[in-house]
Structure formats: C-alpha cells, structure tokens
Structure 1
Amino acid sequence: MKKIMLIGIAAVLMASCSESILDLKPYGAPGEGTFPETESDIELAVNGLYYGLWDDAAYTRGPMYWINASDDMITGRINAEVDTYRNFAITASGSAGIAGRLWNALTPIMGRSNAVIKMEDKIQMADQKKKDFLFGQAYFLNALVHFDLAKRFGNMVEGKGFPIPNRQDQLDMEYDRPANVNVNMDYIIADCMAAAERLPYQAELDPKDYGRPTKTAAWAWASKVALQKGWNCMKVQDEAGAQAAFLQAENFATQVIEATYNGVKCHDLMPTYKEVFLIENNFGKEYIFSSQGGTFYAGSRPNMLPGMMLENKGWGKYNGFGYFVPTKSLYDEFEAGDQRRAVTILAPGDKFTYFGQECVYGQGDYATSSPTKMQFNKYMHPFSIGSSEANPNGDSPSTNLNVPIIRYAEVLLIRAEARIMQGKSGKEDLDKIRRRAGLPVKGSYTLDDLKHERRCELAGEYADRHSDLIRWGDAKATYARPAYGFDGTQVWAGRNFRDDRDDVYPIPENILLLMDNRWENNPNY
C-alpha cells in the first residue's frame, strides 16, 4: 500500500503540470481543470484519490475528532478547538475549524472520483479486468467519503440532505440539498453496488495492491449505510422504510459473511482479539478496509492514530500526542473475563512492552499525564517493537499498523443489529463475538446486548461510537452524565446535547458563500 500512496502523491504533483489530470481545487468550486481522458490519465487519477484519504483531516485522524465527542473518551491534552466540538459549543461562524477541514479534505475525493466515474463509458481499455478495477475503486472511494460526509452534515429534516453534485457536469453549481439524508444513503448504496460489480476479491489482488478496496469491502460498506438508513427512517416514523433498510443491511452483511473465493471463506474472526491489532495481520482474515499505516511523510500522512493515542511525549522515547484517552465508563463496560478490555485499555498497574522493554503503566518512569490515568492500548504493537515500526519524524507519529475503517467483526455486529431490529435473532453473530472475547454466550440477545457488544468490540476505532449513540437516540441522556477517570475523579462535566442541532456539524460558512447562499445551514446553527 505504500506504493499506492507514493503513486498517489506523484499523481497530485503531476496535476500541477499536466492538463490531462484533475486539478485539486476544493469540491464544488468552479474551475478550468480538465478531466482524465486516457487510460494512463484514469490510472493516475485513481491512484491520486488515495493521496486525499491521508489528508490530515481525512483518515489519518480527522474522524476521531467527531468520535471524541462520545462517552468512550475525552480529549487527553488541552486543545480549545477540540474541546469546543466535544462540548457541542460550535457555531456556524466557527465551523471553518474541524468541520471545515473535514469538508475540505473529503469533498475533493468525491469530486475527483466523480470525474473518473463519468469517463467510464468514454474510455476504451483493452484489459477489461483492469478497467473494472480502476472504476470500481472510484465508485467505492466515492461511497466511503460520501457516507462520512452525509452522516456528519446531513439529516432527516426536510431539505437537509448532504449536497450531491452533478456527476456528469462538475462545473454545475445549480444543485440543491436533497430532501433528506436518506437520499444520500440510497445514492451511496448504489455506488457500493457498482463498486462490488467491478472489484475483485482480496484473494485475487496482487500483494502490491493490498489496501485497495475489494468486492467484500463494497458489500460491507453498503451494510453499514443501509443500517444507518434504517435508523434514519425510525426517526421519522417510517416503519416500512426502516424494515426494508434493515433487511437490506442484513442481506449485504450476509454477502460478506458467506463470501468465498475458490471454495475458501473470504473472511473470519482472528482467533484472539489481540491478533486483530498486530502489524503482521494488517491484511489478515478480519481485514476488510483500513486506513493504511506507514513510516514516512511525503506531504500526506499515513495513519497517525496510534501516535495520537500514545502517552503525551511517549515517556521520552517517542513523540506521542496524548489525545483521545479512555474513560472509566468505557473501562467499566467490559464484563469480568472479557479479554478485550486489556487489549483496548492500559490502566494503572498493567504490564506492557514498550520499545522492547517490559514496563508497568502508571508507575515509575511510566507514570502517565492522561487525565483519566488510562490510555488506549489496541494500537500499541508498533511501539512495543520500537523505532523500526514508527515514523522517525515524531511530529507525524504514524506507524506500520493499519487502523480498521471497517472489519469483519463489525459486519457481524451490523447483521446482528439489523436482525434484532426486524424482530429476528442476533444470536448467531453475537455468539461468535462473545466466544472470541472469552465470554459465555447467552440464550438470546436484546438491542441493549447488541449495544454493549458493539461498544466493547469497537472502542477507539473509526466504527464511530458517537454516531452509534446518535442513531440509537441515546446521545442526549448519555452525554448529560459526567466522565470519570480510573480513580473515580470527574474529568469532564456532563454536556448538553441538543437532538435538534448536535446530530450534525454546521456547513462551513465559506461553503455557503461559495454557493451564493443557495443552501440553508443545518437547523439551529
């Protein structure tokens, strides 16, 4: 995947000197760039999409600022801007910060992928398999970022879907916000299906292409989108629409779960939870699609989340950032005997390996500055080995560990939730999750059981606890409660989450101005 990223960087650099490659103007801005017109143009343009994924505000750390609002974590060091977002205190005029950077990072990927897609019927390639792979990637990456934008900037209020540009004419600025965000969900699902038709299975990829999306990644993402769509329908009392969407989510997830290639099952749970987060398993059986790691910096960063969750200043051995530290609420969520807790959280007295040395967290040279006296542990494998697995530039603390965007365990949880919401049983999938965690299975499972397993399984990942609480309708009550550290000290006051505003970000004011105020901002901003 490092090769992919370097090729992407080259494509961006070439864009400044070649009229046949897309320029990199922000999505939605009119310009005089030309579109890819030849096979080599398409290949460069597709590779260039990956460059955008590793923008600092995209899939290096950007989504975690949104997830940081959840009850799983707090901001581990002083940052007034991040704290404003966590406290739901942003205004439309202040939305050029984290929200604006996220918009400006992800919307160009939509724009450039759309520019590729519109050329599919116009470009002839002798190798149809290669053509399908290239265009399949464009469809998938468009669906990936479209969903993350839509759920953060669009909702079910009339006229407040996320703006969908004209794919066939990207200089067309005369487009409005859709009726609601489920219009986006349908659009995204259609793109996932187009991607799945064109993409290969993981087993068909040349190892140099590992990290690019696959057929099962497209199905998995569609299952996540359809699940969100079902809950969106519930918000507006559309029971029939909700049931249809939950069935859709179940069916997409089943395609992933039952997928085989040459008689071999495509995906499965790793034998132990710890193995999911080892470098050697970056592309193991549980992998579906990840934010790629790497130990270099060349204008765009590989994933930095491991370094951002590492102790601030890394006990003098590496420049950890100390952001996003776990709460006592998350620690207490794990049942006795749940093997996931030790993998997920470092708590006082826990032994861990750091740069080849056995240490005790919170003691002696390894005392912590974390306000909760805890640290996320699941991305520590690179630092257990040492400098060979981490970027020598500590100001860009990436590692060789990939961070999941969606993995097989989440697909099991999506299917279980979709089934429960249809009045069916989620036992088949939740039993697998609990057995791997070292826990006894249950005779049956409720929605509350599903919520518990999802929290314990996916804590600190891009799976997105904050969005979970919003779609379940649990955010207001959950966030009214204070957050506590390991010793019971209150570390964050309860917060006022407004259901009529805080389920989405405001659209940045500069974007509204760019569109001549054609769009209204989100409610109550």
Structure 2
Amino acid sequence: MKTKFIIYTFLFVVVLSAACKKNLDLKQKGVYNTDNYFRNETDAVNVISGIYNLLAQEDYISHAETTFDVASDDYWRSGDHAEDEAIENLTYNASNAQVNFSWTYKYETVNRSTNAIINIPRIMEITPAVKNRCMGEAYFFRAFGYWRLMLIYGDVPIVTEADYQNSNFNLPKSPIEEVRKQIEADLLKAVELLPENYPDSERGRVNKGTALGLLTKLYMYWEKLPQAIETGEKVINNNKYALATNYQDNFTRANEKSTEILMSVQGLQNVVQNDYTIYYIPRAWGGYGFSQPLKGLADEFEANDTRKAATLLSLGDKMDLGDGKGETEFTSDLSSTGYSFRKYAVFYPFKSDEGTGVDHNYAVPLMRSADIYLLVAEAKIRTQGAGAGDALINIVRKRASPLLSPVAGAGMPQLIHERRMELAGEGERHQDLMRWDKKNIVDIAAIYNLPKSKAPVDQAKTVNFVRPKHYYYPIPQVEIDKSNGVLKQNPNF
C-alpha cells in the first residue's frame, strides 16, 4: 500500500456524547497527501519551507543542539534543566530529554527531506531553476539531519527512499562508515544542484557554499584530510563566501547579507520567537541566562583580540537596552560566572518601541566561512607539517584585529587556540576536542577533569570523560522500546 505523507492537517477534536454524534458528522477538509499535494512550483517551495521551519524549534537547533556543547571547558550550563546538567557532567542516560528531542527532530528533518526528494521530481508545473534549487535544499537538509545524528549518536539507521515508499521504518543501525557515505552522497548532489548565491529576496536559503562547507566538515571528521582541503578551498577561493570585513559584523541585526554566513536560522521576530538567542540573554534582561561562559574561555583571548569584546559581555561592559535609559551596565548579578555571550544578545529586541513582537529579521549564524578557513588550515598542518596553515590562520587573525601578531610555523596548539577564539559559543568546542582526542592530539579527559573553580560560581567539580563511552550519546530508550529489539543501544549504556 502506498504511503501517504500528510503535509498539512486541520484537525478538529470534538468530545461529544453518542446521542449527539449524528448531528455533527462532518466531511474532512484541509488534508493533503502525496496523491493530491505535489501539483506545482508553489507546493514544492512550501514543502522545502517546512524543512527550514524545523530550525526554529526550541527543542531542535534553538536550544537542544546548543546543550550538546555544555560539557566543554567553555561553559557553565546555568539554567534549571536537569537534563542539561546531566549532559554537562557526562552523567546522562538513555532517558535524557535532550537526547530524546535530538533524535526526533533530526529524523523529522530526514523525513521531510526524503518526502521532497521522492515527490518534487514528478511536478510538471515548475521552472528548472526552482526545481533544482528545491532538490538541492532537500538533499542538503537530509545530509544535515544525518550529520547531526552521526555526531551525537554514531551508528544510526539509514532510511532510504524505498524504505519510505514501503513504510519500512523499523530499521537497525547502520555502521558510521555507511552513514558518512550517505551524507557525502547527498552533499555532492546538493553541491551540483544548489546555486552559488541568491538575490536579496531569497537570502537565508542554503547554497552551494553551505553544502561545500558541510562536506568539508564531514571530511575532517572522517579523517579524509586531502578531500577536506580540496573541498574547503572551493569555499575559501570563492568571493561569494568571503569573510565579513569585521568579526562583529556576523553578530548584528544587519548580518543577513553577510557573505561569510553559510548557514543561519532566520525569521521575523513577530512570526517566530528567536529561542536560539533568548537562552543566552541574562534573566533580568528578559532571557533565560543559560550557557554562561567560563573564566577560562575569557582568559584565553589575547590582549589585542577584539573578538573577546564581540563575543563576551564582561563585568563593567555596557549595552543599550532601549527605553531611553541609555546604556545599562553588565553587573555581577546577571551571571553566575561573570560573563554572558554578547554575540547572541545583539539579536534580541530589547528596545520598548520594538518589543517582543517586533517585525525585524534575525539571522543567527550556524556555519561561517571562518570555520572552513580554520578546518583547511588544520588539514594542511596535519598533512604537510607545522606552518602549512599559517596563511589561512593569519587571514582569520588579521580580520579579528590588525594588532594581533601573525603566527609563524603554527602547529596544532596554535590552530586549536584559534578555533576556540573564533568559534566560541557556536557549538564546536566539545566536538572538536573529541575528534582531536581520538587522534591523540589532545587529552580530553585531562581537560575536562580540571576543576572549573576559577569562575566566580562554585564549580569545583570533576567531569569524568570515559573513552569510548562519551564519544557518543545513547540511543533514546523510548526508540529502542518501540523497535521491539531491532534497534540496539550504543555500547556502555
């Protein structure tokens, strides 16, 4: 029997007695499926928009994904979520709420993307350019869903087009090598189909540079360093993905036209609340105050590194909250660690003439060209020796501040420092440390077992990183139970 993919459903639930049921028999309206939905270009674009909409969900990119970095030496989780505390302390189990949310939303991304991949090709009333773009977006997002599944869980089920069409969803895990191959195949198709960039009216969509960027990251995690160099240089050498003139330009309300931002969460504030940023903002300023930076991160910035001021709010810093009150000082009562992330606070509508329902666009960066510059620099250092990545590291450093001394003969310690400073708070640190630990470049257990008591908050704790257990998170127990034993738990959980 052909699977029916429900796109939009208007569901009316009426609780009535049997006596009056006969008076309320209504014909079902507003239901679309694969037989009657994929009719024209508008339908194709709307289906792809439904994939983008997932990125704004609080339990997907907006908060849950950020939580997977709080175990790192950059954050104190703050907040009142027990599941976040367990992830920070590496004491989570297969029933952890964030672990469950993560699985569900990523497979929903795979689901919606595969639905588009199967059905858009049969639409006749669509221009070739839009058709290619939509297919490229669908292939990219399916790869993105599997990419995040792979990073977090390791071996995961691969659901093919044939599985969807045959309603075959109860599948065992595929080895991580096969998952990587699936991601690679989808990204190569996305690179082929996506345009290099868009007119202003379509900005925010993933493009060829986005797919090339994620492919570069895949090759780095796959330890295919020559391929990472080749793919990454296609981003670096294309001025359509050039670095922004100033580092802080990536973290302003005017950043939506930045060529550096390869992928972002975008939306109008009066349509979609920006949960991604509200988690970082101090509670007294209307946010939740989660993921507070630690003193160790603040101390690693060099004296002339302007990225510190662009990244962090420190005690004594001032910020205009509106209401005609002028600048408000960042004080010790606003953070338990003495710091907050400025780079995300700037997206939040503080001013009273704007309010929570303000009609302004926000574009929170998820992947930037600078990340790719530093990955290619790393790949060159690791394949060609110290100094091979100097040119790329120095481009990033000079953009941060011309007062920063250029590196010479840089090896992995300098590269690791640069990634930490450039990408602080952007969800890369924990995964970076784990992949470097696997290659004996760092000792993640020693880094995480150091007490974090230098911060004003009492965080003199020991985070016990256990290899290989903590390289991946457990498969949600609820998914294993639903599979009737087909899905097996990850080792050590």
Which TM-score tier does this pair reach, normalised by the shorter chain?
A: 0.7 to 0.9
Query: 2:432 pairs with 457, 463, 468, which one?
Result: 468
Structure 1 counterpart of 2:400, from 420, 437, 444: 437
SS of residue in 2 equivalent to 1:279: coil
Question: 1:305–1:44: structure 2 CA closer, same or farther, 3 Å change rule?
Answer: closer
Counterpart of 1:103 in structure 2: which amino acid?
A: W
Contact kept? 1:295, 1:389, Cα under 8 Å: no
Amino acid at match of 1:98: Q
Structure 1 gaps of 5+ residues are 1-9, 23-33, 155-160, 231-244, 260-264
Q: How does 1:301-340 map to 2 (within 5 A)?
A: 301-314=272-285, 319-340=286-307
User: What does residue 52 of structure 1 align with?
Assistant: 54
Partner residue, 2:116: 116
Tell me the alpha carbon deviations over residues 214-259 of structure 1, each in whole angstroms, 9 at most, x when there is no partner.
11111111111111111xxxxxxxxxxxxxx111111111111112
| Residue 228 (str. 1) matches residue 221 (str. 2) | yes
Partner-residue secondary structure (3-state), 1:404: strand
After TM superposition, list the pairs within 5 Å mapping 1:329-478 onto structure 2.
329-355=296-322, 357-362=326-331, 367-383=332-348, 386-387=351-352, 391-392=356-357, 400-424=361-385, 425-438=388-401, 439-462=404-427, 464-473=428-437, 474-478=443-447
How much has 1:36 moved relative to structure 2?
A: 5.5
Whole-angstrom distance in 1 between the partners of 2:36 and 2:472:
33
Partner of 2:228: 249
Greater shift in the superposed pair: 415-424 or 451-460: 415-424
- Please give the alpha-carbon distance, in whole angstroms, between the structure 2 residues aligned to 1:493 and 1:400: 40
Pairwise CA RMSD: 2.4
176, 195, 198: which one aligns with 2:193: 198
Q: Is the 8 A contact 1:354 1:383 kept in 2?
A: no
User: Is 1:502 equivalent to 2:470 in the alignment?
Assistant: yes
CA distance in structure 1 between the partners assigned to 2:450 and 2:158 by the alignment: 37
Give the whole-Å Cα distance in 2 for the aligned partners of 1:351 and 1:72: 22
Residue pair 1:353, 1:384 contacting (<8 A) in 2 also: no
- In 2, the alpha carbon distance for the partners of 1:206 and 1:142 equals 24
SS at 2:327 equivalent: strand
Supply the distance in 2 between the matched residues of 1:207 and 1:476 (Cα, whole angstroms).
46
Shift of 1:418: 1.5
Q: Which residue of 2 aligns with 1:166?
A: 160
21 and 447 in structure 1: CA distance in 2 versus 1, 3 angstrom threshold = farther
Aligned residue among 246, 265, 290 for 1:291? 265
Q: What is the identity, as a one-letter code, of the residue corresponding to 2:466?
A: R
Partners of 1:193 and 1:477 in 2: how far apart? 38
User: Is residue 11–residue 44 contact of structure 1 (8 Å, CA) maintained in 2?
Assistant: no
Paired residues of 2:228 and 2:376 also in contact (CA < 8 A): yes
- Post-superposition Cα deviations, 1:390-438, rounded to whole Å, max 9, x if no partner, equal 6349xxxx97432111111111011111111212511121010111122
Letter in 1 for 2:221: Q
2:470 partner SS: coil
Say which one has the larger Rg: 2
| SS class of match (2:471) | coil
What is the rounded CA distance, in whole Å, between the counterparts of 1:278 and 1:121 in structure 2? 38
Indicate if the aligned counterparts of 1:293 and 1:400 stay in contact, CA closer than 8 A: yes
Contact 1:382 1:389 in 2 (8 A): no
The alpha carbon displacement at 1:110 in A equals: 0.3
Counterpart of 2:400, as a letter, is: A
- What residue in structure 2 maps to residue 128 of structure 1? 128
Deviations 1:301-360 (A, max 9, x none): 45323221111131xxxx211101000110111111111111111111223333262233
Describe the shift of the 1:107–1:431 C-alpha distance in structure 2 as closer, same or farther (beyond 3 A).
same
CA distance 1:374–1:332, shift in 2 (3 Å):
same
**2:24 matched residue in structure 1:** none
Which secondary structure state, in structure 2, belongs to the residue aligned with residue 352 of structure 1? strand
Deviates more, 1:287-296 or 1:381-390: 381-390
Q: Judging changes above 3 Å, is the alpha-carbon distance between structure 1 residues 137 and 484 closer, same or farther for their aligned structure 2 residues?
A: same
8 Å CA contact retained: 1:293, 1:304: no
1:448 deviation in Å?
1.2
- How big is the shift at 1:372? 0.5
Query: 1:207, 1:388 → 2: CA distance?
Result: 26
In structure 1, distance between residues paired with 2:360 and 2:460: 30
Deviation at 1:492, TM superposition (A): 4.6
Q: Does 2:475 match 1:481?
A: no
Matches within 5 A, 1:88-103: 88-92=90-94, 94-95=95-96, 97-103=97-103
Alignment: residue pair count: 458
The SS at the match of 1:403 is: strand
User: How far did residue 125 of structure 1 move?
Assistant: 4.6
- 1:278 equivalent among 252, 261, 271: 252
Alpha-carbon contact 1:52-1:109 (below 8 Å) kept: yes
2:302 is paired with a residue whose SS is: coil
Given candidates 160, 174, 180, the residue that maps to 1:178 is 174
Q: Distance in 1 between matches of 2:232 and 2:352?
A: 39
Matched, 1:522 2:480: no
Is contact 1:383-1:389 (8 Å) kept? no
Change (3 A) 1:400 1:69: farther
Q: Distance in 2 between matches of 1:191 and 1:309?
A: 33
% identical aligned pairs: 27
Normalising by structure 2, report the TM-score: 0.87
**Aligned residue for 1:4?**
none
The one-letter code sitting in structure 2 at the alignment partner of 1:419 is: K
Distance 1:392 1:128 in 2: 38
